[in-house]
Amino acid sequence: MTLSKTQETYIHNLANNPEIDNLYHMDIEEIAIAADTSIKAVIRCLGLQKDFLQRRDKDPEYEKILSANLIKASITKPRVRKRYKVTPVLTELIEHYIQENKEKVKKRQSKLKKNKLQIHNEVIKHGFDIHYSTTCRLINELEEKKLEAFIKCAYRPGEYCEFDWGSIPLYINGHPRILKAGVFASAYSNYRYACLYESENRKSFVDIHNAFFNHCEGVYQTVVYDNMSLAVNHQRSKNGKKKPSRILKALSKHHNFNYRFCNVRKGNEKGHVEKTIGVIEDTIFSNRSSFSSLEEANHYLMEELMKLNHKECLYNRKTCIQRFKEEQKVLRPLQSDFMYVEKDKRVVNKSSMIQFQNNLYSVPTQYVGKKVDIHYTDIHIKCIYKGDVIATHTRLTGVDEHSLSLLHHTDLFIKKPGGFVHSLLYHQLPYVIQKTYRKYFDGETKEFMTFLQSYLKGSNEMVADSLKNVFSKIKGKITKEKLISKFEENLQ
């Protein structure tokens, strides 16, 4: 074991202490305690033999030898290593770059600051032969950064959990992907839960909360977030007071939990989830990074997290799962899954459709030119006019796609029957509707549209199912008359 510079200097200066008479009576153990080092290090520094401490009771000259070596050590000057490559010119150059960084921070150009490696490269360009570690030590000395003190917190069961996103680069089905991991960590038990998503959006934000609360079979009192845009409304946040986003406000109201935001760039305020993201990136997916599907990657992630949750904590000899079960007893009651509904307005175009996020949805033709309200989730979209729901569609996820309902356009095709077969709507209809039109109505568009208005309702799929159901009940050869009479019987 080698002595640090402070410990070596202390031992060398013991004989120069004003209370010299008391110091001469100190034993080796007391010197080691005072110097904050080991007994072996003290013996080696004073030039004594390895078995010197064992001779304490046998050798009558023990105290004299110790005092003599102590005086000898105090006379010998401690070794001071001289810096040959750190010259005043080099120090002045590095101080210049440090000052330049400070000025960039004042100008709100902190992203343009030079890091230590960039400063080192600039120093090398000026002809200095110096190692990178030396440059780092010199920068730290010149910056004189003060170390931050942190507060050790105590948490009650079920009180706090923390949420954050992490970016995980993986290979899915042989293709490189950067997936988003939604991660929860309990502040009391350090119980960990995570799930991978394609992107960091409202759908995944709501889904990870629903999934986590269902997994816990309860709801934590408070969830801690950073300054993510999904949780914080930055436009309304002023003077350091953060306002929650609409989706977080609705989510917390539905599940009955409180929320708290960290300060900017203070990851230590939610250290449990930050550490969990590091474990996922550096430990779990460092062993395996290729999967056939996203579901397989999520299954592997949960298996590895459960292994971590069953490990014992060093400070209380309990596993995370045991402490988590303590929390489950005091969690708030579990609510149903939250479905977030957003609102907007659109004007119905001349084709009796509204455009929403690069896709088109049909509405009844009598609303052409009207402004309608739309309520949409990640699954459905509803069109509302003066409080009445006039159209409901499954939300499309592609680009330039059309969701068209035949019953929305029956009045239009009665007025313009020749355009039905050539319309985009006709080519999107299920086969059973096209067959009914061609085979049983002989292409009579007006009669077919009147038949639809009289007996059928709902989406194209519901119309097709109704036709299939009626066809299965008709015995013998199917004709138009039998089809219409069967629908009349169903209405009665």
pLDDT at 18: 47
Rama region for 265: left / alpha / beta (φ>0; ψ in -120 to 50; rest): left
- pLDDT, residue 487, reads 85
Lowest mean pLDDT among 9-13, 46-50, 140-144: 9-13
**What average pLDDT does the segment 380-397 reach?**
91
In this prediction, residue 299 carries a pLDDT of 95
State the Cα torsion 320-321-323-326 to the nearest 10°: 160
% of the chain at pLDDT higher than 90:
52
Residue 388 pLDDT > 90, yes or no?
A: yes
Q: What is the pLDDT of residues 159-218, one digit of tens each?
A: 999 999 999 999 999 999 999 999 999 999 999 999 999 889 888 999 999 999 999 999
What is the C-alpha to C-alpha distance for residues 480 and 442, in angstroms, rounded to an integer? 10
CATH number, domain 342-401, options 3.30.1300, 2.40.50, 3.50.4, 1.10.10: 2.40.50
Residue 336 has pLDDT above 70, yes or no: yes
Please state, in angstroms and rounded to a whole number, the distance separating the CA atoms of residues 71 and 16: 9
Q: Which CATH superfamily is domain 160-328 in?
A: Ribonuclease H-like superfamily/Ribonuclease H (3.30.420.10)
The structural domains of the chain, with segments of one domain joined by +, span 5-75, 88-143, 160-328, 342-401, 408-491
Range 49-76 average pLDDT: 64
Whole-model pTM: value is 0.58
248-299 pLDDT tens trace: 999 999 999 999 999 988 888 999 999 999 999 888 998 899 999 999 999 9
pLDDT at 17 over 70: no
Judged against a pLDDT cut of 80, whether residue 100 lies above it is answered with: yes
Q: Which amino acid is at 123?
A: V
Residue type for 296, please? Answer: E
The larger pLDDT score, comparing residue 81 to residue 362, is at 362
Measured distance CA(24)–CA(41) in Å, rounded: 18
Burial of 270 (0-12, 13-18, 19+ CB in 10 A): buried
Instruction: Please compute the mean of the pLDDT values over residues 437-464 and round it to a whole number.
Output: 88
